[in-house]
């Protein structure tokens, strides 16, 4: 079996390398403008418009301590009682300001800019009210 012999080109000198790099054309530079972020509108109760039979409810806060025992945030039960802050156009029985009871896992939480979180749920998901307006 015959051996293959490979010949190597002599190493490139620094002057040759400089000449080769100078003759190469640089890639064109493309400037892409960055998108400008619009300032976000503050989300408040006055800006929200509820559709259909939707109800906006502020939940009551869970107690921090029960009979002197401090309850950690992770083990607090989600309260199923709240105050109606806004109602949709097709709501027949719900009124703003009523204290109502609803299902424990009902509704969709909506964060507001003030740091509070409200629930949006259907009027049918509300079980009963205290009758206080």
Per residue in 81-117, pLDDT (tens digit) is 899 998 888 988 888 899 998 888 888 888 887 778 8
Instruction: Tell me the CATH number at 62.
Output: 2.30.33.40
Residue 6: pLDDT band (50, 70, 90) is low
123 located within any domain: yes
Average model confidence (pLDDT) for the chain?
79
Tell me how far the alpha carbon of residue 114 is from its chain's centroid.
15
85 located within any domain: yes
pLDDT at 8 over 70: no
118 located within any domain: yes
Domain span at 55: 45-129
83 located within any domain: yes
24 located within any domain: no
Residues facing residue 110 across a β-bridge? 118
Tokens coding 116:
């509070």
- pTM over the 0.85 mark: no
Q: 76 or 128: whose pLDDT is higher?
A: 128
Q: What share of the chain is helix, strand, coil (3-state, %, to 5)?
A: 15, 25, 60
Total structural domains within the chain: 1
In a 3-state reduction of DSSP, which class is residue 10? coil
Tokens coding 97:
């300001």
125 located within any domain: yes
Report the alpha-carbon distance of residue 113 to residue 41 in Å, rounded: 9
């Amino acid at each position: 079996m015959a051996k293959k012999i490979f010949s190597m080109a002599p190493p490139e000198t620094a002057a040759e390398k400089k000449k080769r790099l100078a003759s190469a054309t640089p890639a064109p530079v493309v400037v892409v403008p960055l998108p400008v972020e619009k300032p976000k509108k503050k989300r408040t109760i006055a800006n929200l418009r509820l559709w259909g039979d939707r109800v906006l409810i502020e939940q009551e806060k869970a107690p921090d301590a029960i009979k002197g025992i401090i309850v950690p945030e992770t083990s607090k039960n989600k309260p199923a009682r709240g105050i109606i802050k806004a109602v949709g156009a097709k709501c027949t029985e719900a009124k703003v300001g009523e204290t109502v009871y609803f299902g424990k896992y009902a509704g969709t939480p909506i964060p507001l800019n003030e740091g509070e979180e409200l629930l949006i749920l259907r009027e049918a998901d509300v079980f009963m009210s205290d009758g206080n307006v």
